[in-house]
Structures are given as structure tokens and as C-alpha cells.
A and B are shown apart, each in its own frame.
Chain A
Amino acid sequence: MKAQGRTLLQKDGTKTVLASLLSIAVGLAVGSLLVLLVGLFSDNLGLASAWEGIRLIFFGILNTGRNATGSLTWGFNSQSIGNMLFRATPLILTGLSVSVAFKTGLFNIGAPGQYLMGTMATLAIALGIPSTAMPGPVIWLLAFLGGALAGALWGCIPGLVKALLNINEVLACIMTNWIAANLVTWFFDATKVFQNTVENTKSSYVYKTAYGKTLVDGAWTYVDGNGVQTAKLGLDKIFSGSQVNAGILVAILIAIGVYILMTKTTLGYQLKACGANRHAARYAGINDKRNIVLSMAIAGALSGAAAALYYLSGNTEFYWHTYQALPATGFNGIPVALLAANNPIGVIFTGCFMSMLNIVGLQLTNLTAYNEFITDVIISVIVYLSAFSLLIKMMLSARRKDKPAADKREQDKPAEEVSVEKGGEQA
């Protein structure tokens, strides 16, 4: 009886992974088709450039540029792969943020706002504390926790209005996003101290956290290298030339933590119960309002942590005039979560996949006449397909009915996602 249950579970997991892979394949195919069409119908682009674009869409991560004759060269590109891991760090966390809210039946489209509030708090703490006041790692930790806390508080707002006033959380999230965008701009406008004046070629940028507040000749100034940055732990040696740091390991640890929270604890069970049926959960004695607020707070904390890890790397700068545009990292948490079917462990891999698409987009811009927005098209197609992933799964199970179920028994669920997802990235 127990064994039978396990096979069923595995079968469902397999189908989820297959449905995601199918979505990825269709997404990449649509992207390629678009490149092909533009290549064919544009006067100054040809079939040859379209073919280059398509190859880059699929294998861009393994591209090493062009050789002297102008044709694309391929191989292990440590810079691309390292940067992929670096960019995956915030994506994994915003993906987790969206997926935690999804499990409670909430659509957290407010990740960009929570991310921005996290950015503000992190930078204010990391740049505000004098680097002589306490050891670097302590400042790092304070800034990280501050970012997560700010995100959590911001996430509470849509949660509260949803729980108490039954306002659609999507609308509330959108409004809080734009309010956050204006608040953050206002904050950095008003507190002039954080604006980068050392590198005067740049305007509207805040200091990198590598700059530390230091007392020089009786005046507070920002000195490069005195501030805080995430430890590299040798990762920069493996992926030379890239921005990668230990943040990716922190993100993976948090993902595992969320997995444990959602599957092994009472709180996780209550959150999921509210997501499955809010009224039934209340009937069973679960405080549904508290859980909705809590779920949004956790989601917000994860988005805030995403921003903290990204900006504490020490080599990223924040452009503070954000009031006209919201950070894409927040929105891209949605496809990351949907593609992983809200499984926290799956989010690690889909986060890496999304950041790979990101790198591919840059390669396209640098090497061909096409641009990075094609990868956003691919992402949107993937989201579109995941809207009816249930249907895709049903189609898959109809086809797999006559196949023996035994051939998929050897792996457990997370490991299975590892192998298949890796395969998906190469293919």
C-alpha cells in the first residue's frame, strides 16, 4: 500500500517535470521562430544571422564569442556560467517568494516592490554603519536581515488588506509596487549621503556596498574596499572573470529551508490548508487571516532577501531613479515559481534556467543584431503555457497510461528534477 502511494507520487512529480520541460521547449521554439521570421523579413538581416541567433538561444551559455573569421565559437565559458549563478541568486529567492504565496492561494505579483524595499533597507544599513564600528560580517548580517525585514513588512500590506478587507491581492500588490518605487527614489533623493560621488562619471547611482563609511581627516567619506561584500569562498577561482559569490549557496540553503518549512512543519501545513480551501481551513480551526498575512510576510522577506544578496555582493550598484520602472527580477520570480510548479527545490533549477536565459539575451545583444528582449518573449510563452499546465499534465498522463510505471522508480523526486532539468538546459 505504501509502495503504491510512493509510485503515484513519483508519477505526479514526473509529469510535472515533463510538463515544465515541454513548456521550456515550446518557449524556446517560439523564440527561435520569431528570430527566424525577423531574419527572413528584415532587409539587413539574413537567414545566416537568424541561424546564429537560434543557436545562441539554445546554447548561448556555452558560447565563447567569435573567432577571427567571425564565426561563433563554443566551449566552457567560465564567465557566463559564473554570472549565471550570480544572477540566479536573487531569482531563486523571488521565485521562492512567489511560490510560498501561491501555496497559500495568493498571487504575489508584489515581489518587485518587496525587492525594492529590501534594496533600500540593505543599502541604508550597509552604507550607514561606519565600517570601523563593527566587524564586516556583522554589518553584512545586519544588512541582510534588515533587507529581509523590510521586504516582510512591505509584503504584509497586501496580506493585511486581503485578509481583513478582502481586497484582491493582485491589485494591492501592484499599487504597493509603485508606491515602493516612489518611496525608494524619494529616500535616496532626500538622504544625499548614499549617492555615489566618487565615480563622478555615473549619475543617479548609490555606492556599491564595497565602499565603507570611513572617518578620513575628521569627515565621513566612502572608501572603496572598506565596506562589506559577500564572501567568494573560492567560487571566483572556479568561474574566473565572473561576479559569482557565496550568495548562491545562501540562496540554496534558504530554498531547502523553505522546503522543510512547507512540508515538515505545522505552519507549512496550515499555510497550504488555507491555500487549498480557506473556508475549510477555518472550519478545521486554522486562523486563516493570520496565515494569509504570515504567508505574504514570508514571501516579502524572501523577496527582500533576494535584493539583499544581490546588492551585498559588493560589485553591483543600485540606480535609484526607479520610480518609472520596476525591477524585472521581481516579476521574473513568477515564471521561476510557475515553471518549478511551486516546489522550493525545483525553484533552484528553474532560477538557474531563467538566469541562463538572461545571459543568453546578453550574448544575443552583443554578438548578433537581435536583442535581449527575445528571452523575455520566451519567458512569457513559458508562463502562458504554465497557465494550463494541468491540461498538459492530463495530456501526458493519457499518453503514459499504457507504459509500465516501474521504469521511473529508481530516483526520488528532488534528484529526479536535478537530472531532467540539467538535461533540459543542455538540449
Chain B
Amino acid sequence: MTFLIQQTLIYAIPLMIVALAGVFAERSGIINLALEGIMIFGAFVGVLFVNILQGVPFFHDAFASKSWLTLQGLELLAMLAAAVLGAVFSLLLSFASVNLRADQTIGGTALNLMAPALVLFLIRIIANQNTLGMAEGDAASWFMIKKSTFGIDRKTDLGFLGETFVNKVYLATYVCILLFVVLSILLYKTKFGLRLRSCGENPQAADSLGINVYKMRYAGTTISGALAGMGGFVYALTTANCASTGDVAGFGFLALAVMIFGNWKPLNIAGSALLFGLFKCIAASYDSIDINGDGICMLAKAPISSHVYRMLPYLITLVVLAFTSKKSRAPKAEGIPYDKGQR
């Protein structure tokens, strides 16, 4: 059960934060189809950042002397770097869709094509292969919080909650949850959030009240880019052993589906992200999930092909969308370039 919860969280957290990224863009009126591309780019930036700083004596010594506070600091810095450059990358989308009034779907697709191409081009030049990993060690030994991190003996039982939420976890997971809460409050309880949402519903009315629609849309997309970039790195760190391969296996698109299923509302998104995380977790490790703790992996024993499990997240998405599409209510003005002269 502990394993199941931890694995589900590992998949659900990036989905949740990237889905929130989608919310910020769409609530301001921009369809951010580029989430996938920004995630790929953010993952690359974060991994490269870690890879380079591992060579710096300060961090190198910190690892040797097991100074875990410094290492967690490195993880946070890498997340920040991924977020900043993710935001910069998303400016390409906001420039095209706000200033040039471009087709947002095509613009997003362009970014989705550009990110893996650029990332793989650079990885091939830097690492001379198609994967960029850490310079030394692995994600677990550098960044994972374990019992030994706090000097607790490996055999001590921390109880169910302790084993699940303190042992073998990444700080990034909790930072993401905290950010999710803070940003949801920002979107719903502040002046800025109200203005941002108004631009996605009725930009003409917002403009008439003195809100700068262009600025708000830039803000929404930039926050979106930062979150997606960070989410991309968190995904690479927690599921891909801190390696960048120019691919996040359609996670950005799954996040979009989570957003639509969550009806563009943070609380619903958190719930649906957990649901999708569970299916993704089953798809990834169906052969080692032991639900009731009797040492028998039920899912692997069942006469179902592994391909069915791998297909499941996508199949469920399609089915779930089919059932919820009638009720879903997208921001009214999303995807429509704002034109001041239009009534």
C-alpha cells in the first residue's frame, strides 16, 4: 500500500502542477497546447543544471559529506532554473498569440515540435548520445529523502504515515503541493486572480474596467510556462532518475486532459490528477504492486496483457472525457485572440 501511494504520488504530482499550469494559461484566455514541449524543455534545463553543478566542488563535497540540506538546496535551485527557463520558453507562445494574434493551437504545436528537437540537438552535442543524465550518482542517492538522511536506522519502523510520507520521498513533491495550494489561492482569492480570470471570460468587459488584457494574458502564460517547466523537471527527477531524453511520454497532454476533467478548477484537478496518477502508476509498475501486502502481485497474475495496462491511462482519459464533456465549461474567451476594436 505504501508503495502504491508513493508511486501514485510520483505520477500525480507532476500531472497536478502541469494541469494547474494549463489553468493559468486558459483562464487568461490562451490555450496552452505547448505544455508537453515546455515540460520537455524544463526537464532538460533542470537536468543540465544539476549535471553542471555536480562538478562544482561545493556541491561535490556536500555529497561526499552527506550534507543533505545543501543537496536539497541544489534540488530546489534546479527546480527554479527549470521554472525560469520554462517561463522564458513560453514567451514564444505568448508573443505569437498575444502580440501577433496567431492561431494558438498551431503555435503550441510548434513549441511541442521545437522543444524535443532543440533538446535532443543539444544533448547529442553535450553528451554524444540521446540521453543526458546526472554527472555522477543517481537521483536516489543525491536527492531522495530516506531514513538515513535523518540519521534514523534503516530497520526502525516509522509507522504507516512515516513510511509513506517521510521515507523515500522527494522534497520536490511537497514543494509542488505547497505551490499548488498557494497558486490556487492566488487565482481565486486575490485581485490579480480575479482580473486574470476575467480576461479569459470576457476580455472586452475587463478592458473597459481598465485591466490590461495583454499584460494579464502574458502573466497567465508566463506563470503557466514556469509551472510546466518545473513540472517537467520534477517528472524527470522522480520518474526518470533525473535524466532528460527529449520526451515526457505525453504527460503534457495527459495534464491537459486532467485540466479538462477537473473542469478548470484546482480542487477538482487535484482529485483527477490523483486518479490519473493511479492509472499511470498501474501502467508503469503493475507487476510489482502488492495491494494487500501478502506478497502476491495481483495485477501481474491476472490474465491481462501488459499492453492493456500501458494503454489504460489513455483509454481512461478518452472514456472519462466522453462522459464529462457535456458538463465541462471552458473559459469563454479561450483561444480567441483579443482585439481591442472588436465588440
The stretch among B68-76, B120-128, B186-194, B294-302 that forms the contact with chain A is B120-128
Q: Which chain B residues lie closer than 8 Å to A172 at the CB level?
A: 318, 321
* B325 at interface by CB-CB < 8 Å: yes
Check B307–A387 contact: CB distance below 8 A.
no
Write the nearest CB–CB distance from B300 to chain A, whole angstroms: 16
* Chain A residue with the shortest CB-CB distance to B322: A165
Check B105–A179 contact: CB distance below 8 A.
no
Residue among A185, A380, A383 facing the most chain B CB atoms (10 A cut-off): A380
Write the nearest CB–CB distance from A381 to chain B, whole angstroms: 7
Known: A324-B249, A370-B125. A387 touches B110 (CB 8 A): yes
Write the nearest CB–CB distance from B133 to chain A, whole angstroms: 17
Write the nearest CB–CB distance from B34 to chain A, whole angstroms: 10
Interface bits B286-330 vs A (CB < 8 Å: 1, else 0): 000000000000000000010110110011011001100110000
Residue among B111, B114, B260 facing the most chain A CB atoms (10 A cut-off): B114
Complex CA gap A335/B33 in Å reads: 16
Residue among A38, A387, A388, A391 facing the most chain B CB atoms (10 A cut-off): A387
Complex CA gap A291/B124 in Å reads: 45
Sorted from nearest, which 6 A-B pairs have the closest CB atoms? A376-B117, A380-B114, A384-B110, A388-B102, A186-B307, A380-B113
Q: Which residues of B come within 8 Å of A, CB atoms?
A: 33, 92, 96, 100-107, 109-111, 113-114, 116-118, 120-122, 124-125, 247, 249-250, 253, 256-257, 260, 305, 307-308, 310-311, 314-315, 317-318, 321-322, 325-326
Check B256–A38 contact: CB distance below 8 A.
no
Check A165–B307 contact: CB distance below 8 A.
no
Check B121–A377 contact: CB distance below 8 A.
yes
Across the interface, A178 reaches (CB within 8 A) one of B96, B100, B250, namely B250
16 residue pairs bridging A and B, Cβ less than 8 Å apart: A34-B121, A165-B326, A175-B318, A178-B311, A179-B318, A186-B305, A324-B249, A331-B113, A370-B125, A371-B120, A373-B117, A379-B113, A383-B106, A387-B106, A387-B107, A388-B102
Known: A172-B318, A185-B307. A383 touches B105 (CB 8 A): no
* A273 at interface by CB-CB < 8 Å: no
Q: Which chain A residues lie closer than 8 Å to B249 at the CB level?
A: 324
Check B314–A179 contact: CB distance below 8 A.
yes
Q: Which chain A residues lie closer than 8 Å to B103 at the CB level?
A: 387-388
Check B125–A369 contact: CB distance below 8 A.
yes
Q: Which chain B residues lie closer than 8 Å to A335 at the CB level?
A: 113
Residue among B92, B101, B253 facing the most chain A CB atoms (10 A cut-off): B253
Complex CA gap A174/B251 in Å reads: 11
Write the nearest CB–CB distance from B112 to chain A, whole angstroms: 8
Known: A172-B321, A391-B101. A338 touches B120 (CB 8 A): no
Complex CA gap A341/B300 in Å reads: 49
Across the interface, A383 reaches (CB within 8 A) one of B113, B307, B310, B318, namely B113
Complex CA gap A190/B118 in Å reads: 37
Write the nearest CB–CB distance from A36 to chain B, whole angstroms: 13
Check A174–B253 contact: CB distance below 8 A.
yes
Write the nearest CB–CB distance from A325 to chain B, whole angstroms: 7
Complex CA gap A402/B290 in Å reads: 76
Complex CA gap A373/B123 in Å reads: 10
